[in-house]
Amino acid sequence: MDNQDLHITRQAATLRLMVEEKLRAAIAKGLFKPGQRLVERELCELIGVGRTSIREALRQLEAEGLVQTIPHRGPIVSSISAQEARQLYEIRALLEGYAGRQFAERNDPQAVKELDKTVKALVKAAKSNEQLALIEAKTQFYKVLMGGADNVFVTQMLTSLHNRITLLRFTSMTQPGRLTRSIVEIRDIYEAIASGDGDAAEKACRLHIQEAAKVALAVLDSNFSEKAPVAGPKPVRAPAARKPAMGKSGAASPPRR
């Protein structure tokens, strides 16, 4: 085999990852709405790259569940139902609760220090009220949280869930009062982990996800109610005319007296 067959084009790979991040952030931020078509030509103009990079990025986002390809329509932003969201949040609460417990019980000072940095970055982003910075800061917090648990399988499963939940994260964070409560909950997670309290860390992680779920599901239920058609009154049918009884000869029988 020719050694050149193993050659890696670093620049192309880096470009593809950058395109992925741009599209992922745009979906998370709500610039591309659920159900919206993602036209390659328009994305090339918006991002300033060729079609190959766009197609590769879309394939990756499709694998993550953020994009789906519809026959005769092409790629669109995925939608998520209330039932799917509820299931995602339930599993995420279990896994992140476990990750928080493992992180606290491992008691790795360097990992705790990294988590502290992400919390401070999140607080700073919240004060600036920059939406993209908020999403990036929260993504980094969860990345360090998963790394602190030091469990490759939990990390793989949570990464998949986080990619899917991207469709709802911005919805949850932008609701009135949610960001302030979210910061408090994340600080509680950090304090429990920093103190090495596994029980408190698991409880704080689960509470954080449960509270986020309440907000996101309320928005989804509200959107569904607004789109659902209002059922009108059922039409009243006139009673069917009674057919006269027929005699043996086929003629109508005379009425009974």
109-160 residue pLDDT tens = 999 999 999 999 999 999 987 877 888 899 899 999 999 999 999 999 998 8
pLDDT, residue 47, reads: 92
Across residues 214-239, what is the average pLDDT?
Answer: 62
pLDDT, residue 143, reads: 94
pLDDT, residue 237, reads: 53
Strands 67-70 and 74-77: antiparallel
pLDDT, residue 135, reads: 83
Distance CA 55, CA 50 (A): 9
pLDDT, tens digit (0-9, with 9 covering 90-100), for 59-115: 999 988 889 999 988 999 988 888 888 999 999 999 999 999 999 999 999 999 999
pLDDT, residue 257, reads: 46
What's the pTM value of the predicted model, to 2 decimals? 0.73
pLDDT, residue 29, reads: 76
Strand partners, 169: none
- Phi (first) and psi of residue 111, to 5 degrees: -65, -40
What percentage of the chain exceeds 70 in pLDDT? 81
Residue showing tokens 């704080």: 204
pLDDT, residue 134, reads: 86
Q: How many CB atoms lie within 10 A of CB 207?
A: 15
Q: How buried is residue 66: exposed, middle or buried, by Cβ count under 10 Å (0-12/13-18/19+)? A: buried
pLDDT, tens digit (0-9, with 9 covering 90-100), for 179-200: 899 999 999 999 999 999 999 9
Distance CA 117, CA 245 (A): 90
H runs (alpha helix) in the chain: 10-29, 40-47, 51-64, 82-106, 109-128, 131-149, 152-173, 178-194, 198-227
Across residues 16-44, what is the average pLDDT?
Answer: 88
Tokens of 35: 């159900």
Distance CA 196, CA 31 (A): 40
- Residue 219 C-beta-side C-alpha neighbours within 13 Å: 18
pLDDT, tens digit (0-9, with 9 covering 90-100), for 26-37: 887 778 888 899
